[in-house]
Chain A
Amino acid sequence: MVLLLSGLANCTKESAFGGNTTGAGGSTARFTIAGNYLYVVDNVSLKSFDISNNNTPVYKSKTEIGVNIETIFPYQDKLFIGSSSSMYIYSLSDPARPQLLAKTEYTIRMACDPVVAKDNVAYATLRANGPCGGGVSALVVYNITNISNPRLEKTVTLSGPYGLGVKNNSLYVCEGSAGIRVFNITNPYDPVAGATLIAANTIFYDVIPYGNVLIAQVNDGFILYDIGTNPQQPAFLSRIMN
């Protein structure tokens, strides 16, 4: 399942997703909206659609990327695309035809790897267990000041991360049945672990920080948390069953 939400309700929070993004999506999304374009990844390629006219998406281009493409995330005028072994960064200076800026191979091969980005930092999760195989589960932090040469700053070992979301100084990482781990990223290159949110019989897959609400995709629906009061201590609001 793929979830995209409108960014219209609270324009001031757009920075969490990049300035020109008009939709909000999770880090494990297979498609995303940036400006007037919809971008879709499949296993091997990236497609662009002009959605200036809401009623009629117009197919623009298809770019071959690589193998085992998993996730797509927009940031400023760029797309971050995660595959099982690499993080790709594409420029949207020509939004109809994204251009490859950088490809970073993970040192750990074959792991699932959603990516989010904020300011000059990119966060990705690598998951060892599950269909992606691999040996290590971790949160990895890249310095993307030089966008064509991302530099690994830190590796935080985790139990088995899925999707992640970032808002201001808080980073939320889903860890399946182990809950959502909240990190303080006041120093963006050095996430400090804080609260862990858990719920009985619940597997957390992905999160979307959306204004003052943290939307968590779980095994049987969604859980909403308030992150307006204290972003480091999300407070349960409601649970929506599928």
Chain B
Amino acid sequence: MRNGFIYTNNFSDLVVIDINNTNNIREVSRTAEVFPDLALQYPPKPGSVGRIYFECPDSKKGIVVGWKKQTIHNPKCFR
């Protein structure tokens, strides 16, 4: 935080929030792809298991907001 502005992240975006007027807290800026690690491009690896497979994210469809465990056919992505 600096000069009454909170610097934080929303997924992979850098977000600046003005809290100088606590009755009117507002987002004043948003910069995309500052935190690429937080973009959830792949699901978390549960513990020490080996390889996990997942649907490859398609950036044209937007950003990844979460992952669900499901049976998928012929997955191309793994880690």
- Of A23, A47, A59, the contact of B2 (CB 8 Å cutoff): A23
- Of B28, B31, B35, the contact of A54 (CB 8 Å cutoff): B28
Binary CB contact string for chain B from 1 to 30 against chain A (1 if under 8 A, 0 otherwise): 111111111000010101000000000110
CB atoms of B14 and A49 under 8 A apart: yes
CB atoms of A43 and B37 under 8 A apart: yes
CB atoms of B37 and A42 under 8 A apart: yes
Q: Is the interface of B mostly helix, strand, loop or mixed?
A: strand
CA distance A23 to B37 in the complex (A): 23
- Of A6, A43, A57, the contact of B29 (CB 8 Å cutoff): A57
Binary CB contact string for chain A from 25 to 59 against chain B (1 if under 8 A, 0 otherwise): 00000110100001010110001010100111101
A25 closest partner in B (C-beta):
B1
Contacts of B2 in A (CB 8 A): 4, 6, 8, 22-23, 33, 51, 54
**Is the CB of A101 closer than 8 A to any CB of chain B?**
no
**Is the CB of A5 closer than 8 A to any CB of chain B?**
yes
Interface size class of A (residues with CB under 8 A): 20 to 34
Known: A51-B7, A55-B16. A30 touches B29 (CB 8 A): no
Known: A30-B35, A47-B34. A23 touches B1 (CB 8 A): yes
Interface residues of B in 33-74 (CB under 8 A from A): 34-37
CB atoms of A40 and B34 under 8 A apart: yes
Contacts of A42 in B (CB 8 A): 35-37
Within the complex, what minimum Cβ distance (angstroms) separates B65 from chain A? 17
Q: How many residues of B contact A (CB 8 A)?
A: 19
**Is the CB of A192 closer than 8 A to any CB of chain B?**
no
**Is the CB of A2 closer than 8 A to any CB of chain B?**
yes
Known: A56-B29, A57-B29. A31 touches B7 (CB 8 A): yes
Within the complex, what minimum Cβ distance (angstroms) separates A41 from chain B? 9
CB atoms of B36 and A54 under 8 A apart: no
B3 closest partner in A (C-beta):
A54
B31 closest partner in A (C-beta):
A57
Interface residues of A in 1-32 (CB under 8 A from B): 2, 4-6, 8, 22-23, 30-31
- Of A2, A49, A54, the contact of B5 (CB 8 Å cutoff): A54
10 nearest A-B pairs in the assembled complex, by CB-CB distance: A6-B1, A55-B28, A54-B5, A23-B2, A42-B37, A22-B2, A4-B1, A42-B36, A33-B2, A5-B1
* Chain A interface residues (CB < 8 Å from chain B): 2, 4-6, 8, 22-23, 30-31, 33, 38, 40, 42-43, 47, 49, 51, 54-57, 59
4 extra A-B contacts, CB within 8 A, seeds A38-B7, A51-B7, A59-B31:
A2-B9, A43-B36, A56-B16, A57-B29
